[in-house]
Structure 1
Amino acid sequence: MWNSLGITPIEALWVIISAFGIYLAFFLLVRGFGQRALASWSTLDKAIVIALGSVLGRVVLGYTPTLTAGVIALATMFGMLRLEGYLRRTKGGAYLGSKPILLMAGEKTLADGLKRARIQEDDLYLKLRQAGIRSFSEIALVILEPTGDVSVLRRGLPIERALLRTIRDRDRIPAELLRPE
């Protein structure tokens, strides 16, 4: 039976171990490099990701990739996603999840937030332009989300405090930007 699948039980086990290892390494690297690693990608970044995907695929699938090995690797990766989701909902969630990082409060750029997020000021300005910001006076808050996206909230209506409960340094948000309690 194994001959018809193109993979031996030992090779299947190595595919599972490799997929687990690559998933763990990717997770740790993204955590180590921060949310910025997912924020905005240049054309070169995208090309590198495609190349890395090819290399990682070979690492996971081994020297003789087969359909069976590919299915085992995919099932392992999806299993790891499911496990990560479960752990995020339990006690492990504090480490697995990232908190949003405050980058700007009003017109003030928060240098420590940029440093923590590993974002250069020029990258921040790019995100502001992409959000249609023409003047710093339009800005209420700029937040780097756990997904790597940058949220730009404009001045106008006061912001609900509940929307900001998970943000680091939320005490630095000027009271006039917030809805009264």
Structure 2
Amino acid sequence: MWSYHLGISPLEALWVVLSAIGIYVAFFVLIRIAGQRALASWSTLDKAIVIAFGSVLGRVVLGYTPTLAAGVVGLATMFALFRLEAVLRRTKHGAYLSSKPILLMAGEEVLQSGLQAAKIIEDELYFKLRQAGIRNFSEVALVVLEPTGDVSVLRRGELIEPLLLRRITDRNSIPAYLLMPD
């Protein structure tokens, strides 16, 4: 009767929940392995691939014959996981759930170690500088790959509050003359 009216049995609903949790965890781990760069600006091909991934993942979560009920269960599970992650991020161990910002440039110096850690090539960095309206390296104070995958370009002119640089990798590479005194 349950399956007849809702299109899914309790056991099938459990499998949808477990599949959604498995896909969520796998996606989280793969993004951590690939780095924040995987979340940065996408090309047209990247967008097409993400749409294809979404289709494949949807089929994995919902099973062989998706039903409305299976879709609702899968969607509710994903939303619950997003909410759980948001709650966990607010705890004292929440920093482990997000990547650290990566320093890509300090002053006029391009930090190769940061580019390697971020899996970014110099041409992509230069593209981001151009997007920020940078015309020459002397205008740059800092360039940071944020945990969201966005690239922040801070210009010279005003001293930078050190608290804004919390959790940034390789902070010791930042020239003291760019920072406000502690």
Q: TM-score range by the shorter chain?
A: over 0.9
Query: TM-score, structure 2 length as denominator?
Result: 0.96
**What is the aligned residue count?**
181
Q: Which residue of 1 aligns with 2:51?
A: 50
Q: Which residue of 1 aligns with 2:142?
A: 141
Q: Measure, in 1, the Cα distance between the counterparts of 2:86 and 2:98.
A: 10
Task: List aligned pairs for 1:16-35, cutoff 5 A.
Answer: 16-35=17-36
How big is each residue's C-alpha offset from its partner over 1:36-58, in whole Å with a ceiling of 9 and x where there is no partner?
11012111000000011011111
RMSD between superposed Cα atoms in Å? 1.1
Matched, 1:174 2:175: yes
Q: Measure, in 1, the Cα distance between the counterparts of 2:60 and 2:34.
A: 22
Q: Which residue of 2 aligns with 1:129?
A: 130
How big is each residue's C-alpha offset from its partner over 1:38-94, in whole Å with a ceiling of 9 and x where there is no partner?
012111000000011011111111111111111100110111111112222224323
Q: Which residue of 1 aligns with 2:72?
A: 71
> Equivalent residue of 1:86, what SS?
helix
- Supply the AA of the counterpart residue of 2:11: I
- Supply the AA of the counterpart residue of 1:129: R
Instruction: Go from structure 1 to structure 2 and tell me whether the alpha carbon gap of 1:73 and 1:144 turns closer, same or farther (over 3 Å shift).
Output: same
Q: Which residue of 2 aligns with 1:93?
A: 94
Q: Which residue of 2 aligns with 1:103?
A: 104
Bigger drift between 1-10 and 88-97 goes to 88-97
Q: CA deviation at 1:161?
A: 1.0
> Equivalent residue of 1:41, what SS?
coil
Matched, 1:13 2:14: yes
Q: Which residue of 2 aligns with 1:40?
A: 41
How big is each residue's C-alpha offset from its partner over 1:89-108, in whole Å with a ceiling of 9 and x where there is no partner?
22432321211110000010
- Unpaired runs of at least 5, structure 2: none
- Unpaired runs of at least 5, structure 1: none
Bigger drift between 30-39 and 85-94 goes to 85-94
Bigger drift between 87-96 and 40-49 goes to 87-96
Q: Measure, in 2, the Cα distance between the counterparts of 1:92 and 1:54.
A: 33
How big is each residue's C-alpha offset from its partner over 1:115-162, in whole Å with a ceiling of 9 and x where there is no partner?
111111111111111111111111000000000000000011111111
Q: Measure, in 2, the Cα distance between the counterparts of 1:31 and 1:92.
A: 16
Identity over aligned pairs, percent: 74
